[in-house]
Amino acid sequence: MTKEHPILETEGLTIRFGGHVAVDQVSCAFDRGTLTAIVGPNGAGKTTYFNLISGQLRASGGTVILNGEEITRMSVPERTKRGIGRAFQLTSLFPTLNVRENVRLVAQAKASKGFDMLSMASRHVHLIERAEHVLNEVRLIDQADSVVSALPHGDQRKLEVALLIALGPQVLMFDEPTAGMSVDEVPVILELIRKLKNDMDRTILLVEHKMDVIRSLADRIIVLHNGALVADGDPAEVIALPVVQEAYLGKTPEAA
C-alpha cells in the first residue's frame, strides 16, 4: 500500500486561556484507518485538544487540516459535514426526545434533510430504520421509545456513542466512551469501536484512561502533558516510558 497523506493533521495547534496555555504547539498527523489513543493525566489538555479539532473551541494558533483542507476557522457543523464526528465525555443528548428520535436526528442530519419542511418526518422510513439499526448495535433497541431524560446513566452513555456511530464520520473522536458505564456494558462499546476500526476508512481518536482498553485497541499512543505532546509511538514503547508510568501510576491506581 502506498503511503497516503494523513487524513487529519494538527500543526503547532495552540490555545491560550489568558496566561494559561491549555494546548501548546501540538503537531501530530493521523493516518487513515488507524486508532490513536490520547493519554495523559487529568488537565493535560486531551479534551481541549479534541475541542480544537472538532471546533467547539477556536485555536489561538496553529492549524487543523482535514483531507488536505484547512478547517481551523470553520464552524462545528461545517467540520461535521466534512467528516469529523465527536462523542462527548459529558453526555450531551436531546433530553426531552426519545432514544430513537435522538439517533434519527443524526441520520437526518447526515442525509441533509433538516430543512425539508413539507414532508412528514415519519415518512422518511429509511432514517428511522437507520436509527433502529444503530440502536440494535449498541443494544439500546429495547429503550427506543423511552424519553432520554428518564434513561439510566449507563444507557445515556451508550446513546452518546450511538449518536457518533449513526453519524459514521471519517474521523471518530471518542472522549472516554466507557466512563460511567457498568462493567458488563463496557465490552459492548469496545467491540463496536473495534468493529469501526476494522473498517479501513475510519480513523479513530480515543481518549481513555483504562490501560487494558488502550493496549487491546490502539495502534499508536500519544501522550499529552501540560498541553504539550511529550510522547508518540507504538503502544508497548509508550506505555513503558517513565512519563507515562509516572502519570498513570501516580494518578489512576487501576491503570497500568
Partner 1 sequence: MLTRLLSGDMPRSGLLTVLLLGILVSLAFAPFLFPGTKSLETAAKICIFIVLVASYDLLLGYAGIVSFAHTMFFGIGAYGTALALSTTGPTYSSMIWGTAAGAIVAGIFALAIGLFSLRVKAIFFAMVTLAVASAFAVLMSQLSWLTGGEDGLNYGVPREFKPAFKLIDEKILDVRINGKLLLYYFVFFASAALFLIMLRIVNSPFGRTLKAVRDNAFRAEAIGYKVVWYRTTATVLSAVMAALAGSLLAIWLRYTGPATTLSMEIMIDILLMVVIGGMGTLYGAVVGATIFILAQTYLQNLMGLAETATSSIPIVSTLVAPERWLLWLGVLFILSVYFFPSGIVGRLREGRA
Closer residue to partner 1 (CB): 27 or 149: 149
Strand (E) or helix (H) holding 161: helix 153-167
For residue 161, give the nearest of 178, 142, 180 by alpha carbon.
178
Cα 223–Cα 229–Cα 230 angle in degrees, nearest 5: 70
- Name every residue whose Cβ is closer than 8 Å to that of residue 253 and which is 6 or more positions away in sequence: none
Determine if 113 is a binding residue for partner 1 (CB under 8 A): yes
Query: How many binding residues for partner 1 (CB under 8 A)?
Result: 37
Cell digits for 237? 514503547
State the minimum distance, in angstroms, from the CB of residue 29 to partner 1. 23
Q: Does 117 bind partner 1 (CB under 8 A)?
A: yes
- Helix 99-110 to helix 153-167 angle, to the nearest 10 degrees? 20
The grid coordinates listed for 30 are 493521523
Work out which of 32, 124, 139, 194 binds partner 1, going by CB under 8 A: 124
Span from 14-22, 115-123, 193-201, 224-232 in contact with partner 1 (CB under 8 A): 115-123
Does position 108 interact with partner 1 (CB under 8 A)? The reply is yes
Site string for partner 1, 152-171 (x = CB under 8 A): -----------x---x----
Give the residue with the Cβ less far from partner 1, 16 or 124. Answer: 124
Q: Which of 25, 33, 34, 94 binds partner 1 (CB under 8 A)?
A: 94
Is there binding between residue 69 and partner 1 (CB under 8 A)?
A: no
229 lies in the binding site for partner 1 (CB under 8 A): no
Give how far Cα 107 sits from Cα of 51, 132, 151, Å: 23, 10, 21
Contact 138, 195 (CB under 8 A): no
What DSSP character marks residue 137? H
User: Which residue in the set 21, 97, 179, 188 belongs to the binding site for partner 1 (CB under 8 A)?
Assistant: 97
Q: Over the Cα atoms of the chain, what is R_g?
A: 18
Beta strand spans in 56-202 (E):
61-66, 69-70, 84-87, 171-175
Shortest Å distance, C-beta 80 to partner 1: 4
Query: Measured from the CB of residue 78, what is the shortest distance to partner 1 in angstroms?
Result: 8
Alpha carbon 186 to its chain's center: 16
Interaction between residue 125 and partner 1 (CB under 8 A): no
Q: Does 76 bind partner 1 (CB under 8 A)?
A: yes
Applying CB under 8 A, the residues found at the interface with partner 1 are 54, 56, 75-77, 80-81, 85-86, 88, 92-97, 101, 104-106, 108-110, 113-124, 163, 167
